[in-house]
């Protein structure tokens, strides 16, 4: 890979050190950043807490034009944009619940090419006013980043159908740009088996992608399987586990919406601030729960396994699969949302 004179590797590392304060990259961050700077398509599978966001934020900040970051959860996008803004970096967020004057301000900054990172949901990306702005011929777009890419596999066409339309975005945008324009796509996720990787690659129409597949093993994550033969037994074990870790927050992963409502109601009845989180909630309701949990206002969330997506700032010392997921990816997803710092996290699975 050949970097331009302006973005020699020494310059890349010095910018990284200046913005984030770390001495050097964690493997495989450096290789991913080199790939994105070379505008190569990529599929990145890294465990939660591995520093995925830096892998696409740094290349975006080093280039002119804007990089679009497409993500399913507004609360987590808000966290990343707030951190970048605190560092005086040119990043912004667009979503449907923003006041109209804020949306106009962001679109004006985009048109004036003052942004390097723009976070938005698939639905917002494809909304007429945003799409019309992105299609302006003089607006430089460096690339598309799809975060939580496993949603393409897990949600299909029912829950967030806009996800399935993302494969056509690059070709549609390129038709509005000068002939020599290049626009890479990089998909990031913490969980994707070979079948899921194939679906992501095909759906996004990745072209000769680089694959970066990091091990899901986490030395600070303690997994344990507990046997319980009845629903009552599983609840008793869950309650004992929570009582043994008083004052800590957690996520309880379940298989269905009904399980999510049931476990949340039971935890409330025994005295814990809890919410059910599933696809039956409105976007506003889901966003309120995400924000409340991240802010520590809710101690536990009962989650339909397919819906929760942590980021590198999530602090979750406890994670439970209730009952244990029958799919290995589900166990990895649940464990991946646990503590992402350096302290041990406990993730028991109540097996039926």
| pLDDT reading at 2 higher than 80 | no
Give Cβ neighbours of residue 102 (< 8 Å, ≥ 6 apart).
none
Query: In this predicted structure, what is the pLDDT of residue 176?
Result: 97
Q: Could you report the per-residue pLDDT of 9-27, keeping only the tens digit for each?
A: 999 999 999 999 999 999 9
Query: In this predicted structure, what is the pLDDT of residue 41?
Result: 97
Q: Compute how many other C-beta atoms are within 10 angstroms of the C-beta atom of residue 101.
A: 7
Mean pLDDT of the chain: 82
- How far apart CA 134 and CA 174 sit, in angstroms, is 10
pLDDT category at 179 given cuts 50, 70, 90 is very high
- 26 DSSP assignment: P
Bridge-partner residues for 330, per DSSP?
Answer: none
Mean pLDDT of all residues in 221-232? 78
Query: In this predicted structure, what is the pLDDT of residue 53?
Result: 94
The position carrying tokens 């996004």 is 204
pLDDT category at 227 given cuts 50, 70, 90 is confident
User: What is the pTM (predicted TM-score) of this model?
Assistant: 0.76
| pLDDT reading at 1 higher than 50 | no
- 145's tokens: 């980043």
Query: In this predicted structure, what is the pLDDT of residue 335?
Result: 54
E-strand spans in the chain? 42-45, 66-70, 91-94, 117-120, 141-146, 184-189, 210-213, 221-227, 250-254, 274-277, 300-304, 318-321, 345-351
Q: Domains plus CATH for the chain?
A: 5-213 (3.40.50.300), 221-351 (3.40.50.300)
- 190's tokens: 């913490």
- 284 DSSP assignment: H
Mean pLDDT of all residues in 305-322? 47
Q: Could you report the per-residue pLDDT of 51-103, keeping only the tens digit for each?
A: 899 999 999 999 999 999 998 877 778 889 989 999 999 999 998 888 999 99
């Amino acid at each position: 890979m050949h970097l331009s004179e302006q973005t020699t590797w020494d310059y890349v590392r010095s910018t990284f050190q200046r913005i984030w304060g770390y001495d050097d990259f964690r493997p495989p961050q450096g290789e991913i950043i080199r790939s994105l700077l070379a505008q190569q398509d990529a599929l990145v599978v890294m465990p939660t807490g591995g520093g995925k966001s830096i892998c696409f934020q740094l290349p975006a900040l080093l280039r002119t034009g804007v990089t679009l970051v497409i993500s399913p959860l507004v609360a987590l996008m808000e966290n990343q944009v707030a951190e970048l803004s605190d560092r005086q970096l040119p990043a912004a967020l667009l979503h449907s619940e923003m006041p109209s004057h804020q949306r106009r301000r962001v679109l004006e900054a985009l048109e004036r090419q003052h942004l390097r990172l723009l976070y938005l949901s698939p639905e917002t990306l494809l909304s007429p006013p945003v799409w019309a702005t992105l299609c302006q011929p003089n607006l430089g777009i460096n690339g598309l980043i799809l975060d939580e890419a496993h949603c393409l596999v897990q949600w299909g066409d029912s829950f967030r159908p806009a996800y399935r339309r993302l494969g056509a975005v690059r070709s549609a945008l390129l038709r509005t740009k000068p002939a020599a324009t290049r626009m890479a796509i990089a998909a990031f996720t913490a969980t994707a088996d070979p079948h899921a990787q194939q679906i992501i690659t095909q759906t996004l129409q990745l072209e000769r992608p680089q694959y970066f597949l990091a091990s899901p093993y986490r030395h600070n994550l303690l997994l344990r399987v507990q046997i319980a033969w009845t629903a009552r037994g599983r609840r008793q074990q869950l309650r004992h586990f929570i009582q043994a870790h008083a004052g800590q927050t957690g996520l309880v992963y379940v298989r269905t919406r009904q399980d999510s409502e049931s476990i949340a109601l039971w935890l409330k009845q025994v005295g814990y601030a809890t919410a059910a989180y599933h696809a039956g909630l409105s976007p506003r309701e889901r966003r309120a729960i995400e924000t409340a949990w991240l802010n520590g206002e809710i101690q536990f969330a009962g989650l339909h396994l397919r819906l929760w997506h942590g980021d590198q700032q999530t602090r979750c010392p406890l994670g439970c699969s209730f009952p244990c997921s029958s799919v290995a990816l589900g166990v990895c997803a649940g464990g991946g949302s646990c503590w992402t710092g350096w302290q041990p996290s406990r993730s028991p699975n109540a097996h039926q």
